[in-house]
Structure 1
Amino acid sequence: MTKLSVNINKIATLRNARGGNKPDVVQVAQDCERFGAQGITVHPRPDERHIRLSDVMALKEVVTTEFNIEGYPDERYMRIIEEVRPAQATLVPDPPHVLTSNAGWDTYARKEQLQEVIAQIKGWGVRTSIFVEPEELMVEGAAACGTDRIELYTEAYARGYHNNKEEAVQAYANAAYRAKALGLGINAGHDLDLENLAFLKRSIPYIDEVSIGHALISDALYYGLENTIQMYLRKLNIEP
């Protein structure tokens, strides 16, 4: 079964726009779990424009599914991982100022850095996952870095889905097959939604986890959070 991890950054963005604590990030995380989500994802950026450090610490106390913390592995991020010890640390290569994650790691050019960071995180008993493009060479580099999983960066798939979904998914299927052969777990995320998710899962049935935030929270404005989470779970695990 492919797990659904809900990225709640957008909930924090909405709260921060007005101040106060509405919507309540911690309550939403608990509700997501109650509604069927098998994980909660956050990306606490240094400027705290959405998820704050205080949110991470509060979530640490209540998340009962898999807690996944994304981020660039600078000193701040590493301190968070050491203290929180989430189920998974997902390493992204984007610097703090970018709007959202927009590329995968060059696992060869950054091999030494990644090896050191991954070894430290795994030493804390935390599973590691790193963002990669759908390139077999980058997957092989990821395996050489010692990571437990890769997260396939799916923006290009989502962008090409409506033009030619078979062509859009092919590089991802190839990269995932190579990852599986190398013994890596496979996650996926970025721009996945109710339209393109089921085809990705059918094409790569052994995906371990998808992390979805923006589209899911946007859909929840129309369908409600509980119903939306169930809709995404059906796309992952029920639809033929």
Structure 2
Amino acid sequence: GAMIFQSEYNIPVMGIPGTIDNDIYGTTHTIGYDTALNTVIGAIDKIRDTAISHNRLFFVEVMGRDAGHIALNAGIGAGAEEVLIPEENMGLERLLESLKRSEKSGKSSSIVVIAEGDKSGKNVFEIAEYVEKNLPYYDVRVSVLGHMQRGGSPTCFDRVLASRMGVFAVESLLAGKSNMMVGLKNEEMILSPFEKAIKGKSEINKDLIRVSDILTI
């Protein structure tokens, strides 16, 4: 919309990325992502208390139809036993094997974090039903966090990020630049052309996938 506005009216425009999904090309962090992430981790911590006290397996669905940033980072941060994201198709058989190992290791409860766009092709309720059918010794529950992830007071990180991006956007306009989006990379403010920001794809951190795989063994 901003790019069309600029081209039709020739008014200088600068974009600032704001989405909890963190799925915009040209920045490592979008405004709102850190707040949503901390909201999710707080919710999973509370669910963990119930899972432990009642010896249950919880499937927790978080937002991320096309990007698994929230699920992956929250899963690692909250110590989930498994994480399912759109970028990686781990397969339901691997999930079963992972949960079997978890049970054999003596764990009486487990948490599986699932992005709503998981590649298995099944929704969180279907996955939970599949696991319950194949691993009947688990007392399975589902928790869909939903729109609570979009609310709440912004974290300090998001407040500072928004301030930095706003200042950099105005300074860039005053310097004669336009039709670009502000981003954060290596802790520095950068600019990306609107066309790249729109057509580009935010990549998942492969090293975080590796870390998650190691921690779930």
TM-score interval for Structure 1 and Structure 2 normalised by the shorter chain: under 0.3
More contact order relative to length (CA 8 Å, sep ≥ 6): 2
